[in-house]
Structure 1
Amino acid sequence: MSAIQLQSSQKRVLEALVSLSKADERAVSGATIAAEVDRNPGTIRNQMQSLKALSLVEGIPGPKGGYKPTVDAYEVLDAERVDDPADVPVTRNGDPLPGLTVEEIDLTTVHDPERCRAEVVLAGSVRGFDAGDEVAVGPTPSTALRLTGVVDAVLRAEGTLTVDITEIATGAPAASAAAAGTGADESDCDDGVAEAVESV
């Protein structure tokens, strides 16, 4: 397949479709995509027509219809398509979020004495999240990694949460990153991450 150059708006819509379709096998409605990228449904219909012409999107007719990404869409976005992905559960403020799973966890600032953070990329919509929400992620299938924290930022276009970690663990007991209510403690954060990484 030759390299397809997408406009930024096309790429954003296609990334949203891929993310939403990973969370749910059904076709994704134009209205759902529009809400995810904060655009008008008419704009999404126009974008989908151009993406269909590029063979990146398949239109599904009918009352439960919508759009599905093609194999080429995953290639253009350099995204991995997993036929039977393992679910990595997510909770927000103690409530499980069915249909939402973790795609990637990036431990970004494990040696910062002020903060222990992670970027959590979700398959599905992050629209329901706000800064200050308490989240719990995991366990992951291979290492049983679990992390708990508070959402610091929601990057809607990327489907990513920036989380200040308060607790991180693998199959072993959790290591606390909270230090007497004053933010993350470097040694606790480092120890918890070291335990988690060593078991990977």
Structure 2
Amino acid sequence: MSSIELTASQKTILRALVDLYTQRESAVKGEDIAEEVDRNPGTIRNQMQSLKALQLVEGVPGPKGGYKPTTNAFEALEIEQMDRPANVDVYLNGELIEEANVQDIDLSSVHHPELCRAEIQLRGSVRDFHEGDSVSVGPTPISKLVVEGSVDGKDDAHNIVILKIDDMTAPAEEPEH
């Protein structure tokens, strides 16, 4: 898939849609997105037209209707769509954290090698993670991605750990024995 260049505004709106949709697992109303990103509903409707044209969003008709992201939306935002509930292991300094489960891996800055960071959003608290700790996440269910790095920062409010990536591997397909 060729990379789609989205404006900052489109990305914000698309990410809000994806977040709300993943939480609810149902179509999201334009008003809810407008509220989430602090724009007026008219702006959202206009942006949705362009996102539909890019095949990133589908309109869902009816009273329960609204918008839902297409698979392309996840790819455009480089979010690995995790089937609920995916168990993606998190190791902190080599130890498996039983109660942590990865909700989202965002590799938005991977295109800048000198800024190789991953935002790992966890279900469960990030209070045990401290700067400099070594963390390994994965393998993810779909691409079997394993991300290894050290804690560069965290956002307690959103349960996000920011990793400085040391190594990222997705194993080659192994032949079945």
- What is the TM-score when the length of structure 2 is the normalising length? 0.53
User: Residues 78-117 of structure 1: matches in 2 within 5 Å?
Assistant: 78-85=78-85, 103=104, 104-105=121-122, 107=129, 109=131
Could you tell me which of 146, 152, 155 is aligned with 1:119?
A: 155
- Judging changes above 3 Å, is the alpha-carbon distance between structure 1 residues 69 and 108 closer, same or farther for their aligned structure 2 residues? farther
Deviation at residue 118 of structure 1 after TM alignment = 3.6
Whole-angstrom distance in 2 between the partners of 1:76 and 1:108: 31
Whole-angstrom distance in 2 between the partners of 1:108 and 1:15: 27
Whole-angstrom distance in 1 between the partners of 2:6 and 2:36: 19
Listed as ranges, the gaps of 5+ residues in structure 2 are: 88-101, 105-120, 134-152, 162-177
Deviation at residue 28 of structure 1 after TM alignment = 0.5
Give the superposed CA RMSD: 2.6
Fraction of identical pairs, as percent: 55
Count residues in correspondence. Answer: 107
Deviation at residue 14 of structure 1 after TM alignment = 0.3
- Judging changes above 3 Å, is the alpha-carbon distance between structure 1 residues 162 and 75 closer, same or farther for their aligned structure 2 residues? closer
What is the CA deviation profile of residues 98-137 of structure 1, one whole-angstrom value per residue up to 9, with x for unaligned ones?
xxx95414635368xxxxx7425xxxxxxxxxxxxxxxxx
Contact 1:16–1:33 (8 Å) recurs in 2:
yes
> Which residue identity does 1:39 align to in structure 2?
R
What is the CA deviation profile of residues 170-193 of structure 1, one whole-angstrom value per residue up to 9, with x for unaligned ones?
xxxxxxxxxxxxxxxxxxxxxxxx
Q: Whose Rg is larger?
A: 1
Listed as ranges, the gaps of 5+ residues in structure 1 are: 88-100, 112-116, 121-150, 152-159, 164-200
Deviation at residue 82 of structure 1 after TM alignment = 1.4
- Judging changes above 3 Å, is the alpha-carbon distance between structure 1 residues 108 and 15 closer, same or farther for their aligned structure 2 residues? farther
